[in-house]
Structure 1
Amino acid sequence: MVDFKTNIAQALAKETGVDCEQLCGWLEVPPEREMGDYALPCFKLSKTMRKAPPVIAQALHDALTPQQEALCLERIETVGGYLNFFLDKAMVAREVVSEVLQAGPRYGGSDKGVGKTICIDYSSINIAKRFHIGHLSTTVLGNALYKIYQHLGYKCVGINHLGDWGTQFGKLIVAFKRWGTREQVEQGGVDALSELYVRFHQEAENEPALEDEGRYWFKKIEDGDQEALSLFNWFKELTLKDAQRVYDLLGVHFDSYAGESFYNDKMGRVIDELEAKGLLTESQGAKVVDLSDYNLPPCLILKSDGATLYATRDIAAALYRKDTYDFDKCLYVVAYQQNLHFAQWFKVVEMMGYPWAKDLEHVAFGMISFEGQTLSTRKGHVVYLDELLERAVEKTRAIIEEKSPNLEDKDEAARQVGIGAVIFNAMQAGRIKDIDFWWDRALNFDGETGPYVQYTHARCCSVLRKAQGYALDGQTQWDQLTDEEAQKTIMLLMRFPEVVEEAALRNEPSMITRHTVEIAKAYNKFYYEHRILDEDEKAAVARLQLTRAVRQVIAIGLGLLGIEAPERM
C-alpha cells in the first residue's frame, strides 16, 4: 500500500530541509475531514525557516501543487499557518481496500519484531484459591499483548507466575490431614481447599499451636519432604485444573507456569551477588538495598529470620528469564497498587549492573468493581470468573432468543458474544482506569461494546452471503467509493496498522478496542446511507469489496483482543 503520509513528508523534506521522520511526526490528522486528511502546522517550521507560518504555508503550497498527482493528492489548501492535504479519494480506496484484501489475516502485522523475544507475565493466579473477577484484567490484557506483539513478528513467551509459595501451604496441609479426605477434595476441588484453609484459621483461634504446625509443614515443603511435596503438588494440580476451565473459556494459554516455588533454589544467586557488589545493608536484622539516592524506600531482600520476599523472587525470576529466553522486553501485567514494588526491584537490577534492567516494564492497570461494589474476599464481595462468564453466556442466549429467534446454533453464538462482551468491556477504557462492570453496558448490542462490533462483523458476513452472482474478482471501479461515508470507513481501515503499532508501543490494547468500534460505527453509517447490493453493478461491486475489507479488519481487531468474530448473530 502506498504510504501517503510518508510520501507527503518526503516531499516536504526536500522543500524545508527538515528530516522526513520528524515531519511525519508533525503531520496531524485534522479533527474534521473538511480540513483535509493530513495537516502540517507550519509554526513548527518558523524558527528554522525564519518566516511567519502563513508565509511558509503558502510557499509550500506553491511548491507542492505541481506534484499533487504523484503524491496521490486531490488538492492542497492553506488555512492561516496550516497546510492541509486532501488525498485522491478513488486512489485511496483502491490502495487501502486492495491491501487489506491482499494481506488477509496479516493486515496490520509486520516483521519488525522478527528475531526479538517478549516475555509477558500475566494472570499469575494463587494456588488453592478460586479464579475471581479481580484476575480478569491481568489475564485478558496479557493475552491481548501476546497477540499484538505476535502480530508484529515478535516471539512471545506467556508466563503465569503462580502464587505457589508461603506458609499458607503448610497450613493447608495441616488442615487437610486433620479434617479433609482425598475424596472430598477431589470432588470439591478449589472450593474444598478454600473451606479447609478457612477452617484452619477458625480452629487456630482456639488452638494457636496450629500456626507452628503450619510452619513446620511448610518447612518440610522447603526441605523436599516427599509427603509434603506430594500434597503440595496435588493442590497445584487441582487449582490449575479449575483455572484451565476459565482459560479455555477466555481462549488464553501460557508457555510457562513457573511460579514462586520454581525460584526457591535460585534465590542464593541474588543474595550472593548483592553481597558481592556491596549493595546489601542491614536494617533491624533484615537485609535491604538502600534506594534513598533514587527517592525510593529501601528494597527488602531478606527478613530478619532469613526468609526471602517477593522482591527477591522477582529478581531471581528476571535473571532466569533473561538467561533462558534472552528477552528484548519483559512485561509485568500487574495492578497499579504494585507500582512501588516494581520501581524498587527494577532499580535494584539496574544497580546490580545489568543493562537490560531498562527492558523490564510494569504494565499497570486499574481496579475492577462489579455493579458499583468494590470486590473484597473478606467482606464476601467476590465474583468468581467462571460464574461471571457462564452468566454472560446465559444472558446473551436470552437476548439472542429475543432478537434472532430463527438463528441457527444459538448456543455457539451466545458463547462467542457473551465471552467477547466480558473481554471487550475489560479493555474498553485505557488500562490504567478503574473498571465498574455492569451487565446492561457490557451486553448492549447498540452501544460501543463487544456485541456491537461483533454484530457489525456478522452484518458484513450476511451482506456477502447475499452477494452471489457479483463478480468480485474482476475490475473494481474505485471511484464508486468517494462518498463521505465510504471514505471515512476507508481512512479508518488505512490507519489500523498504525494503531496496532501504537498499541504495542504503549502496551495499550484499548487503542485497538476503540479503533475497531470506530470502524464498526463508520461502516454501519455507510450501510444505512447506501444500498450495498445496488442495481448498478459497478457501485455494488465496489461496496462489496469495502464490506469484505471491513469484515477482515474487524475480525483481526477482535482477534488481537482475544475475541471471536461470529459470522451469524
Structure 2
Amino acid sequence: MEGHTYHFYQLEREIQERLREALKREFALALDQEEIPVEVPPNPEFGDLSSPLPLKLAKTLRQNPLAIAEKLQAILLKERPAYAKTITVTAPGYINFFLDFVALTRGLFDAVAVEKEKYGEVKVGKGKKVVIEHTNINPNKAAHIGHLRNACLGDTLARLKRRLGYEVEVQNYIDDTGAAVADIVVGLYHLERECPRGVPFDSFCWDLYTQVNQLYEENPPLKEKQREVLHQIEEGDNEVAQLAKKVAGKIVDHHLDIMWRLGVYYNLLTWESDILKLGFWEYAFEQLKGEGSLVYEEEGPNAGCWVVKLGDLEEFKDLENPDKVLVRSNGTATYTAKDIAYQMWKFGVLGKDFFYDRHGLQPNGTVLWTTTPDGNKMERFGRADEVINVIDLRQKYLQDVLRFSLYKLGFEKEAANSIHFGYEVVALSANTARELGVEVKEGEKEVYAMSGRQGIGVKAGVLVERMVKKATVEVAKRHPEMSPEEHRKLAQDIAIGAIRYYMIKYNINSVIVFDFNEALNMQGNTGPYLQYAYARAANILGKVEPEILEEIDLRDVSIPAELTSEERELIRRMAEFPATLGKAAQLLQPPILAEYTFNLASTFMNFYEAVPVLNAEPPLMRFRIALLLAFRQTLGNALNTLGMPAPARM
C-alpha cells in the first residue's frame, strides 16, 4: 500500500495498535495485534467500527467487560485513532468508533484518484511467490460444470493473491498417463471407434468414456485392455503411447478454450508423462534414502516396502495401518510418492527440473508455457514460498498425507506452506437431472451426483452457450439499436459474469446444487445484478456534461459537512474494499469478496433510489458525481478481482 493514501485497512490496524497499547498500559497485558478483534457492527447505531475485545478478556482479567471497555475508552479518547470522531462504549462490553466522514471521504477520494485500477491493493505479499495449481481436469473428455467451480475458485484465488502483491504462478496439472485417458484409447484403438465429422472431439470422448465403462461391466475381460494400454503408455515410444498423448493434447486444447472464454488463464501446463519420463520420484527416492528419511519395513503388513512413518501423528494414530507406503514391495512407486516429488519440485527443493517450451499465446496476451521431455532449461517456474492445491474435499485425506509426509521427511517449512484449498462438489437438482435424461422418480432424491462414467453431468460448453443464448434474448429486447454481433458480445459478458459469480459466491464447504433455472436467473444475488449496478453508474456518468466531468478532480472536490445516510453508507462500503480484499486473500475465501461486492452494489442501488445526482445543486452535484466516479472504480476493481466483465450497459 502506498504511503500517500489511507484506507480502512490501515484504520483497522491503527485501532488494533491503539487498543493493544491501552491494554498494556492499563492492565499490563500484552497481546499480538492480530489477537485484537475489530469489526463492522451490524447496526450503525453502534458505530462504524467496533471492538468486542473487553468481552474476550473479561474472564482473563476477572472484571466486568463494560468496566474494561470504559477504562480502555478513557485512554483512547486522549489519543484518538485517525478518523475517529467519537468513541463510545455499549453493553455488554463493546468499544465503538464513529468516524469523521469528511476526512474519511477525502482519504477515499485521494486513494481512488491516485491508485485507480490498483485501488484496494495491500502489498503484504511483496517479495513472496505462491504457486496455485487448479483445474487439473482428466484429459479424456469435455469439461463439466464441476470443473468450472475448481477453475473459477482457483483463478479468483490467483487474482486475490496478486492484489496482495504476491508473485503468482498458476499451474494446470495434466494427468495424461492415467486410467481415464487409457479408457479413451481402448475405445479408439481396440474398439475402433471414430469421431464423427462435425462433432467436437471432447464431446465425442464424453460419450465414448461412458460407453467404454459400460462395456467393462458387460464384458469384464475387456478391462484387461485398459491395463495393457496403461502399461504401454508408461513404457512410451510406441503407437499406443503416441495415441494417448495425441488424445490428451486435443482434449486439453478444448479445456483451454472454455477456460479462456471464462477469463481463466495459466502460466504453466505440467504433464504427468514428463514427471515420469524425467524420473522425478526416482531422483527424490535416492535423495530421501540417503538422508534416512524413509524406512524400509522388514516385517508386518508393509514388509518389503519403503514407507514414511505417520503413526505418531495425531491425525493418523487411530488408523489400522497409519504409515504410508511410498514404494511397494515389487519396487513400483505409489501415487503419493509421485505427488511428494512433484510438491518438492514446486518448492524448488527436488534438485531436478523440467524442460520447457511455449504452448502458445493466450487471448489475454500472455504466453502459456508447457513442460516437455526435451525443451529448454528455465529457472522461472516452481521455487515457491507457498503452494496452494485447489482440489475438492474428497481428496482431503490424500492432501493431508502429502503434507504430513513432507513434514516427516524433513521438509518442515514446505509442509507448513503446503495448502489444500478444498471445496465441495457440484451436484444436479432433480429438475436438471430429468432434463438431461436421468431417470428421476418423484419423491425420491432432490439432488443427483454427477458421474462421468455414467455420462451424467452438464458440459461446461453447453452451460456457457445456454447462458449466452438466454442473455442474448434479453439484450436484444433492451437494445434494439445494437447489431446482432453487439448483442452476442454483451450477452457473453453477462453470461460469464453470471457463471463465475455463481461458482464463487457459495461457501466453499457447501455442495452447489446446480439448477438451470436458478443459474440462468438474472435477478437477486447474481452476477448480472452486480454488472447492472456498474452499468447504472456508468449510464449516469454518461449523462454528465463532458466539460463538467473533465473539471471534477477527486483530490480537490468539495465534500459537504453533512452527508445523507445513503452517502455515508456508500463511502463506508468503498473504504472497506482494501480490508476486504486482504481478508479474503489471507483466509483464502473468495466468497468473502463475492459477498462484499454484492453488498457494495446493493448499497449503490439504495443510494441511486434515494439521492438525486444530476438534479442536485451544482456543488452537491459535483460531489455526488465524484462519489459515482469512486464507486465505478471500486466496483470495477472488485469485479475484475472476481474475474467478471464490467459492461458499461446492460
**TM-score after normalising by structure 1:** 0.91
Aligned to 2:513: 436
In the alignment, is residue 351 of structure 1 matched against residue 426 of structure 2? no
Aligned to 2:124: 112
Match of 1:252 among 243, 264, 276: 264
Rate the CA distance shift 1:89–1:283 in 2: closer, same or farther, 3 A. same
Rate the CA distance shift 1:102–1:462 in 2: closer, same or farther, 3 A. same
**Displacement of 1:48:** 8.2
In structure 1, the gaps of 5 or more residues are none
Contact preservation (8 Å) 1:6, 1:24: no
Match of 1:73 among 79, 84, 102: 84
Aligned residues: 568
**Displacement of 1:422:** 0.9
Aligned to 2:356: none
Aligned to 1:524: 605
Match of 2:625 among 525, 544, 569: 544
Q: Distance in 2 between matches of 1:283 and 1:10?
A: 54
**Displacement of 1:455:** 0.4
Contact preservation (8 Å) 2:293, 2:408: no
Aligned to 1:391: 466
Q: Secondary structure at the match of 1:316?
A: helix
Aligned to 1:507: 588
In the alignment, is residue 363 of structure 1 matched against residue 363 of structure 2? no
Rate the CA distance shift 1:315–1:187 in 2: closer, same or farther, 3 A. same
One-letter amino acid of the counterpart of residue 465, structure 2: E
Q: Distance in 1 between matches of 2:85 and 2:212?
A: 76
Q: Distance in 1 between matches of 2:31 and 2:119?
A: 25
Q: Distance in 1 between matches of 2:211 and 2:519?
A: 37
**Displacement of 1:444:** 3.4
One-letter amino acid of the counterpart of residue 231, structure 1: L
Aligned to 2:104: 92
What RMSD over aligned residues (CA atoms) do the two structures have, in Å? 2.9
Match of 1:485 among 559, 566, 573: 566
**Displacement of 1:187:** 6.0
Q: Distance in 1 between matches of 2:454 and 2:385?
A: 42
Q: Distance in 1 between matches of 2:280 and 2:90?
A: 64
Say which is worse superposed, 455-464 or 249-258, in terms of deviation: 249-258
Aligned to 2:524: 447
Aligned to 1:463: 540
Q: Give the alignment of 1:257-296 within 5 angstroms.
A: 257-264=269-276, 265-273=279-287, 275=289, 276-281=292-297, 283=302, 288-294=307-313, 295-296=315-316
Aligned to 2:144: 132
Q: Give the alignment of 1:44-59 within 5 angstroms.
A: 44=56, 52-59=64-71
**Displacement of 1:507:** 1.0
Contact preservation (8 Å) 2:20, 2:32: no
Q: Secondary structure at the match of 2:268?
A: coil
**Displacement of 1:138:** 1.0
Q: Distance in 2 between matches of 1:255 and 1:342?
A: 23
Contact preservation (8 Å) 2:49, 2:96: yes
Aligned to 2:42: 31
Q: Secondary structure at the match of 2:170?
A: strand
In structure 2, the gaps of 5 or more residues are 317-321, 349-380, 430-446
Q: Secondary structure at the match of 1:283?
A: coil
The superposition leaves residues 153-189 of structure 1 with CA deviations (integer Å, 9 ceiling, x where unpaired) of 1111111111211355455445433444777589651
**Displacement of 1:112:** 2.1
Aligned to 1:410: 487
Rate the CA distance shift 1:445–1:97 in 2: closer, same or farther, 3 A. farther
Say which is worse superposed, 272-281 or 440-449, in terms of deviation: 272-281
Q: Secondary structure at the match of 1:331?
A: strand
Aligned to 1:234: 246
Q: Give the alignment of 1:289-368 within 5 angstroms.
A: 289-294=308-313, 295-296=315-316, 297-303=322-328, 305-323=330-348, 325-355=382-412, 356-368=414-426
Contact preservation (8 Å) 2:16, 2:36: no
Say which is worse superposed, 73-82 or 14-23, in terms of deviation: 14-23
The superposition leaves residues 378-403 of structure 1 with CA deviations (integer Å, 9 ceiling, x where unpaired) of 44421101111111111111233344
Contact preservation (8 Å) 2:566, 2:606: yes
Rate the CA distance shift 1:229–1:425 in 2: closer, same or farther, 3 A. same
Rate the CA distance shift 1:445–1:176 in 2: closer, same or farther, 3 A. closer
One-letter amino acid of the counterpart of residue 295, structure 2: L
**Displacement of 1:368:** 0.8
Q: Secondary structure at the match of 2:256?
A: helix
Rate the CA distance shift 1:60–1:285 in 2: closer, same or farther, 3 A. closer
The superposition leaves residues 243-296 of structure 1 with CA deviations (integer Å, 9 ceiling, x where unpaired) of 122112111111121132222121213444555434343627765444222242
**Displacement of 1:513:** 0.4
Contact preservation (8 Å) 2:347, 2:386: no
**Displacement of 1:15:** 4.2
One-letter amino acid of the counterpart of residue 532, structure 1: V
Q: Secondary structure at the match of 1:376?
A: coil
Aligned to 2:361: none
Rate the CA distance shift 1:411–1:66 in 2: closer, same or farther, 3 A. same
Contact preservation (8 Å) 2:553, 2:626: no
Say which is worse superposed, 337-346 or 370-379, in terms of deviation: 370-379
Aligned to 1:157: 169
Rate the CA distance shift 1:66–1:533 in 2: closer, same or farther, 3 A. farther
Contact preservation (8 Å) 1:128, 1:193: yes
Q: Distance in 2 between matches of 1:10 and 1:212?
A: 67
Q: Distance in 1 between matches of 2:212 and 2:517?
A: 40
Match of 1:221 among 225, 233, 237: 233
Rate the CA distance shift 1:206–1:494 in 2: closer, same or farther, 3 A. closer
Q: Distance in 2 between matches of 1:364 and 1:14?
A: 38
Which structure has the highest helix share of the two? 1
Rate the CA distance shift 1:217–1:86 in 2: closer, same or farther, 3 A. closer
Say which is worse superposed, 200-209 or 446-455, in terms of deviation: 200-209
Contact preservation (8 Å) 2:140, 2:180: no
Q: Secondary structure at the match of 1:26?
A: coil
One-letter amino acid of the counterpart of residue 444, structure 1: N
**TM-score after normalising by structure 2:** 0.80
Rate the CA distance shift 1:407–1:279 in 2: closer, same or farther, 3 A. farther
